[in-house]
């Protein structure tokens, strides 16, 4: 079975691979490319990217040395400045919310603190400049994880289920 996004893109809902890093494990569409950038402390990122390069899911790890809370994460993400410095324009933040424990996947527990936000922007470095991002910030003790979906604005509906599967599969190691 395939999840079909507008524009004809499809992801086989049954064809996922498991990515294992030092700090986490997550599923991603198996036909997507994997790009890693991890430092010697284990923090860094992995990006899963479609063949076209127009659809991606990022998982970034970071050490929560400042005891950042979910609310603090949301406050930091509400500033569009860093995205605009990277060449994005028209950055708009949509939904921002703390995710209640009742919505967590069954293998997460109340030690996690999770927030979710969405944003739209324009950036000519992607094949389709008009972008949508959905971001989850996951804080677990002194570790932080940012999971981000980045797709064309017109294809959000088709790729949200793909991203939700990735988020639900995420486990901290």
Low-confidence ranges of the chain (pLDDT < 50): 1-9
- Count CB atoms within 10 A of the CB of residue 2: 12
Place of tokens 């030690």: 111
| Residue 117 to residues 7, 99, 106, 133, Cα–Cα distance (Å) | 24, 10, 21, 8
**Predicted local distance difference test score (pLDDT) of residue 80:** 66
**Predicted local distance difference test score (pLDDT) of residue 1:** 40
**Predicted local distance difference test score (pLDDT) of residue 8:** 40
Q: What is the pLDDT of residues 11-23, one digit of tens each?
A: 776 789 999 998 8
Q: Which of 169, 167, 131, 164 is nearest to 150 (CA)?
A: 131
For the chain, the distance separating the N- and C-terminal CA atoms, rounded to the nearest angstrom, is 30
Place of tokens 């921002």: 96
Q: What is the pLDDT of residues 92-127, one digit of tens each?
A: 889 999 999 999 998 888 888 999 999 999 999 889
**Predicted local distance difference test score (pLDDT) of residue 41:** 58
Radius of gyration, alpha carbons of the chain? 16
d(CA 162, CA 171): 17
Task: Output the pTM of the full model.
Answer: 0.87
- 72 token code pair: 């603090």
d(CA 68, CA 86): 24
């Amino acid at each position: 079975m395939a999840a079909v996004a507008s524009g004809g893109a499809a992801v086989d809902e049954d064809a996922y691979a498991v990515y294992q890093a030092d700090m986490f494990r997550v599923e991603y569409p198996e036909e997507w490319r994997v790009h890693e950038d991890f430092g010697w402390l284990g923090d860094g990122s992995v990006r899963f990217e479609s063949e076209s390069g127009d659809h991606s899911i990022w998982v970034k790890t970071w050490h929560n040395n400042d005891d950042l809370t979910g609310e603090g994460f949301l406050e930091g993400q509400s500033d569009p400045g860093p995205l605009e410095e990277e060449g994005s324009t028209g950055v708009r933040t949509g939904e921002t919310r703390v995710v209640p424990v009742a919505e967590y996947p069954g293998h997460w527990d109340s030690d996690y603190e999770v927030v979710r936000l969405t944003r739209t922007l324009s950036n000519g470095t992607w094949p389709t400049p008009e972008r949508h991002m959905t971001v989850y910030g996951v804080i677990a003790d002194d570790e932080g994880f940012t999971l981000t979906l980045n797709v064309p604005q017109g294809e959000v509906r088709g790729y949200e289920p793909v991203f939700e599967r990735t988020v639900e599969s995420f486990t901290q190691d």
